[in-house]
């Protein structure tokens, strides 16, 4: 399972990240 580093000590799975990413007020990086 892949995880992403969120903030300092938070790790979430890609599956969960895909669900919450659109809800976050963050600038979306360009996908290569």
Write the DSSP string, 1-32.
--EEEETTTEEEEHHHHHHHGGGS--PPPPP-
pLDDT of amino acid 24:
76
State the pLDDT at residue 22.
Answer: 81
For 1-32, how does the pLDDT look when each residue is reduced to its tens digit (9 = 90+)? 455 665 555 666 777 778 887 887 767 667 66
CA distance 31 to 11: 21
What's residue 5's pLDDT? Answer: 61
Distances in Å between the alpha carbon of 31 and those of 3, 28?
Answer: 17, 9
pTM: 0.33
* Beta partners for residue 4, in sequence order: 12
Tokens, residue 18: 């895909």
Residue 3, strand partner residues: 13
């Amino acid at each position: 399972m892949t995880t992403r580093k969120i903030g300092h000590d938070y790790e979430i799975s890609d599956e969960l990240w895909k669900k919450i990413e659109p809800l976050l007020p963050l600038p979306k990086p360009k996908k290569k």
